Amino acid sequence: MSEELGEGDLRERIVELERALEASEQRNRELLRAMDHVPSGIEIYDADGVAQYLNPAMMKMITISSTEEVIGYFNILTDPFSAETGIRPLYERAYAGETVFTDEFSVAMERAAEDWGTTSSDIWFKMILVPTFDSGGKVSSVVALMFETTEARQMARTLQLVSRRDGIELLAGGVAHDYNNLLSAIITNAQIVRETSTEKEVIELNEDVLRASEQAVFLTKQLLAYTGRNERSISTLDLGVLTDGITQVFRNSILQVGSINLDFSPSECLAEVDAGQYKQVVMNLLTNAIEALPSDGGLVQVKLRQVELGASELESFQFSEQVEAGLWNVLEIHDNGSGMDDDTRLHIFEPYFTTKATGHGLGLAATLGIIWNHGGGISVTSEKGSGTSFRILLPTSAHSITSTMRLERQDTLPESATLLIVDNSPYLRASLRALLERLNFTLYEAEDGLDAVERLKSLKQAPDMILMEIMTPHLNGLDVLRLVRDNDPTLPVLLMSSHGEVGQRGVSGDPYASFLQKPFDSAAILSQIAQMLGGSP
């Protein structure tokens, strides 16, 4: 029989136990401090499923600033939220003693936002649930490790869009080249018919051809806007003036189904933009908004502001490159129409994706391309049956407004001229020949760059002017222009192409060269010829 502890021994034993308890609590505090700094979310639930700990990363994930309403109250095994989100069965497996590894899944945080006052939207994450056991082998707690993948998914989505955009850009460049050659030929021939025909039926059918051609031109511009390969004319403009002008066009078309409400900043919202492309963005978004409105009365709200945005606020926008926090122009177009489900919303910026029976699926793809090419960002929020909001960000400008007024002048065509037409499209060469021969011009043709060089060598006298496609086989138009300049620095050369920026750069610094964007009509090319043959620039 052991000796009973004396009073001194008992006190010493109590001190040892207190020290051991303090050491254990110290280790627990250090462990908690360590978990406070873990970048992944951590939750600990007791044996009954009641929340006992959330680390700061978890609090940030669900955007709560305090755990007072969660710790000791929220029960992962009984709260309806865990059942609604599909999490409860996972925890039930953990409380049965299983370590659970999940695939990536999402949780809608609307209920949490209502109960806990958060601002969180849906989150995506992977999770590991680890049970701990007491000395009797029963589960005493469950530790949840959560690895959020929301931002990674958004980045992957953006990279996917960028990659898809790069691929479609190659396709668009080739398609636009051939398509615009055909359109230029169709439009030119149709305008010749308009001017020469006297038969009423022919004239009416011809007008249908011209209207269809105009729609085809717009479709091509949509495709090129998505890739960023169309011509841009950047100037400092007030977005309020541009937006107001565009919305006025839609006021009559919306009267039968609803109304448009404008809410613009009282101060100027200046930005460096291409006016035509910006108008295209607003038209695309307004068209979609109006088409989504209910038949019994709807509302489209158009807001424009300059807003200071921080890094966290910029995360909800899609950008093509890294941007900095600061002052941004924010255009928001909201409708109270049919809205979109999550799956549709994820695909709306993809080229050729459409939910419309007659849509071509390029409107929003073009919108994204234009905004990205202007250094901006775009975001969309939508819920089925509750409307849609698009927000556009464009960098602000400190420059003064650029004047867009241009002096008009009357251009007179010469009575005769000798022209060399260089283009790989036989249809376009034929239409230009039909147009220009009516003016008593002498015409020579070449189907590519090498053919053009050989034709120039064979002519006894140089032509008065060269009309030349840039993207010709064997030898491109820019190389031909350089060869021409070696022999004749002042010969007028009109470059033609679907690729506006390439053409503008090609004629830069050459006072005797000009550029015409395809597709063009007869008036545009006759005006260019008149200007270039009208004397010294």
pLDDT of residue 211: 67
309 plus 380 within the same structural domain: yes
Under a CB-based contact definition with an 8 Å cutoff, are residues 370 and 281 in contact? Answer: yes
DSSP classification of residue 353? -
Q: How many domains does the chain have?
A: 5
Q: Which residues, other chains included, contact 406 with Cβ-Cβ below 8 Å and sequence gap of 6+? A: none
Q: Is residue 407 part of a domain?
A: no
Q: Are residues 241 and 292 in the same domain?
A: yes
Do residues 216 and 339 both lie within one domain? no
Looking at the structure, tell me whether residues 178 and 299 fall in a common domain.
Answer: no
d(CA 170, CA 328): 32
What is the domain extent for residue 342?
236-395
pLDDT of residue 116: 45
Note whether residue 518 is domain-resident.
yes
- In this prediction, residue 404 carries a pLDDT of 34
Beta bridge partners of 389: 334, 381
Q: Which residues of 479-516 are buried (b: 16+ CB within 10 A; e: fewer)?
A: ebbeebeeeeeebbbbbbbbbbebbbebbeeeebbbbb
Q: Let me know whether 139 and 24 are in one domain.
A: no
Verify that 93 and 14 share a domain, yes or no: no
Last residue of one domain, picked from the residues 148, 175, 210? 148
Question: Would residue 101 count as lying in a domain?
Answer: yes
Same domain, 470 and 366: no
Asked if 259 and 380 sit in the same domain, the reply is yes
Q: Is the peptide bond before 489 cis (omega within 30 degrees of 0)?
A: no
Looking at residue 497, which CATH number applies to its domain?
3.40.50.2300
Same domain, 251 and 219: no
Same domain, yes or no: 223 and 258: no
b/e for 70-83, b at 16 or more Cβ within 10 A?
beeebebeebebbe
Q: What is the pLDDT of residue 390?
A: 93
Q: Are residues 43 and 126 in the same domain?
A: yes
- With respect to residue 260, please indicate whether it lies within any of the assigned structural domains: yes
Is residue 405 in a domain? no
3-state secondary structure of 164: helix
Q: Give the span between the Cα atoms of 270 and 256, in whole angstroms.
A: 33
Give the end of a domain, one of 148, 182, 213. Answer: 148
CATH number for the domain including 300? 3.30.565.10
Does residue 81 lie in a domain region?
yes
User: Residues 260, 199: one domain?
Assistant: no
- pLDDT, position 256: 63
* 328 assigned to some structural domain: yes
Q: How far apart are the first and last CA of the chain?
A: 121
Q: What is the pLDDT along the chain (537 residues), one digit of tens a residue?
A: 445 556 677 777 777 777 777 766 677 666 666 667 667 788 889 999 999 888 888 887 777 777 777 888 889 999 888 888 788 999 999 999 999 988 877 776 554 445 444 444 567 778 889 998 988 889 999 988 887 776 666 666 655 555 555 555 555 555 666 667 677 777 777 777 777 777 777 777 777 776 667 656 656 665 665 555 555 567 788 898 888 877 876 766 566 667 888 888 888 888 988 877 888 888 888 888 888 888 777 888 999 999 999 988 898 898 888 888 899 999 999 998 888 888 788 778 776 666 654 455 566 877 888 888 889 999 999 888 888 999 999 999 877 655 332 223 335 788 889 999 999 888 888 889 888 988 889 999 999 999 999 999 999 899 999 999 988 888 888 999 999 999 899 999 999 887 666 777 778 888 899 988 888 888 888 888 988 887 433
Q: Is residue 409 part of a domain?
A: no
- pLDDT (0 to 100) of residue 92: 93
